[in-house]
Amino acid sequence: MKSLLESSFWQGKRVFLTGHSGFKGSWLTLWLHRLGAELYGYSLLEDDTQKERFGALDSLLEQRIADICNLEDVTESMTAFRPDVVIHLAAQPLVRLSYTDPIGTFSVNVMGTANILEAVRQCSSVRCVLLVTTDKVYEDQHWPWAYRENDRLGGYDPYSASKAAAELACASWRSSFLAEAGITVMTARAGNVIGGWDYARDRLIPDMVRAFIAGQAVTLRNPHAVRPWQHVLEPLAGYLLLIRRAFENTNLSGAWNFGPDSDQIHSVSWMARHFAMAWGKSEEQAFPSELWQEDTSFCQPHETDILLLSSAKARQQLGWSPVLDADLALKLAAEWYQHVIHGKAALTVCEEQIQTYTEMLFHRETPGSGPNFSGTYL
């Protein structure tokens, strides 16, 4: 993974990035810019947070506000830019919203993905495509084992099903058109991602930040549910490594899991309590009765109780592994929000945390090198 610190591969690489104004997309845009890539961002601005990110990133790349459901527009934009790499992140990313708008969710997540693949088919410059889906693409077996890439796809809720369908679309375009054109097509399935610059509704950390600011207890829908939590930079590091290796080895097409270590799998309530302590609350203040209340309404949409990912394939074939444990991931997230609340520019905090992460990676893989961290990030 040390190769992530070397920008020579990415220097001058032309990357077409959908969903660049989203949570993951904004962090990835900044990281790729630091590595020297030439970027084209293609995204809708559906809320104030995306508008904020779009404005903050404006000087780093060429941007277009547009809809991936418009095949003609996305094809024209991609072919005009002539990218080497396409990274598709644009999506409707929320389970609960998919119950409210299932048709819109399928339109964006399935047909939008098909449009990206069809645009790639028309763009002769592309060598590598990475489509980001989710850990929720697997058929819910209600078992205690981690899902592997060859486990059956499924999806109880519309979001999960739409992402599984996007995986099928990807497999179809790869087999029918793109493989014979010499284009490596991969999908990435990460866990429940946390970190700064996320203000989405119905996500644990943003909901807790809003509750802390308002001086209220947070409402947890399913406090005992277990999820593969990870800091946003962890899967992004995996994506960057996978793309780099795909230029060296065209046999890496297919699906890839990027999840936390097995000893870093925690319940919603555990994450809530430890985030409260990372925020600066005492153990007594972080006690469940003070910190959160359970949503006991009977109209909650279905969500699985346990979801685990196996990243053995990425470990063995790519040499990827997580850098952060859950507590440090929560600490970085808490510090991001606290710095921004106190007036520090969001982009600056992101840059500092990317630097901290890469220094941790370098220190881990270079025996005898001493860490040289600054600021409050460790």
Distance CA 139, CA 156 (A): 8
The answer to whether position 288 is within a domain reads: no
Instruction: Specify the pLDDT at position 222.
Output: 85
Q: What is the pLDDT of residues 252-272, one digit of tens each?
A: 999 999 999 988 999 999 999
| pLDDT value for 377 | 47
3-state class (DSSP) for residue 257: strand
Residue 297's pLDDT band (cuts 50, 70, 90): low
Given a contact cutoff of 8 angstroms between Cβ atoms, the answer to whether 19 and 90 are in contact is: yes
- List the domain range (segments joined by +) for residue 338: 2-268+293-365
* Residue 301 within any structural domain of the chain: yes
Is 280 within the bounds of a domain? no
Task: Judge whether 37 lies within some domain.
Answer: yes
Is residue 239 within 8 Å of 2, Cβ to Cβ? no
Q: Where are the beta strands (DSSP E) in the chain?
A: 14-18, 38-43, 62-65, 85-88, 128-132, 184-190, 192-194, 218-220, 226-227, 229-231, 254-258, 266-267, 292-294
Contact between 187 and 133 under an 8 Å Cβ cutoff? The reply is yes
Amino acid letter for position 253: S
Q: Which of 132, 255, 123 is nearest to 183 (CA)?
A: 123
350 has pLDDT over 90: yes
CA–CA dist 81, 127 (Å, integer): 14
Of all residues in the chain, what percent carry a pLDDT higher than 70? 91
- For the stretch 242-254, pLDDT in tens is 999 999 898 999 9
Indicate if the pLDDT at residue 38 is higher than 60: yes
The rounded percent of the chain whose pLDDT value lies above 90 is: 79
In a domain, 227, yes or no: yes
Residue 287 counted as domain residue: no
pTM of the model: 0.94
- pLDDT score, position 217: 84
Picking from 20, 31, 33, 185, the residue whose alpha carbon sits closest to that of residue 89 is 20
Spatial neighbors of 54 by CB under 8 A, at least 6 apart, are 21, 43, 45, 63, 65
Alpha helix segments (H runs only) across 57-142: 71-81, 95-100, 102-106, 112-121
Q: pLDDT per residue over 78-126, tens digit each?
A: 999 999 999 999 999 999 899 999 999 999 999 999 999 999 999 999 9
| Number of other CB atoms surrounding residue 72 within 10 Å | 9
- In total, how many domains does the chain have? 1
Alpha-carbon distance 39 to 83, whole Å? 9
Q: Which residues contact 333 (CB under 8 A, 6 or more apart)?
A: 194, 195, 196, 205, 231, 275, 278
Instruction: Identify the pLDDT of residue 148.
Output: 98
Tokens of 198: 């996320």
**Residue 127 to residue 184: CA distance in whole angstroms:** 6
CB atoms within 10 A of CB 364: 14
Residue 181 sits in a domain whose CATH number is: 3.40.50.720
**If you search the block for the tokens 């440090």, which residue do you land on?**
328
DSSP structural state of residue 366: S
Tell me whether residue 278 is in a domain.
Answer: no
What span, in angstroms and rounded, lies between the C-alpha atoms of 375 and 339? Answer: 11
220 pLDDT band (50/70/90 cuts)?
A: confident
Determine the average pLDDT of the residues in 303-315: 91
Confidence of residue 375 (pLDDT cuts 50, 70, 90): very low
Say if residue 308's pLDDT is above 80. yes
| CA–CA dist 27, 34 (Å, integer) | 11
Note whether residue 180 is domain-resident: yes
CA dist., res. 81 & res. 86, Å (int):
11
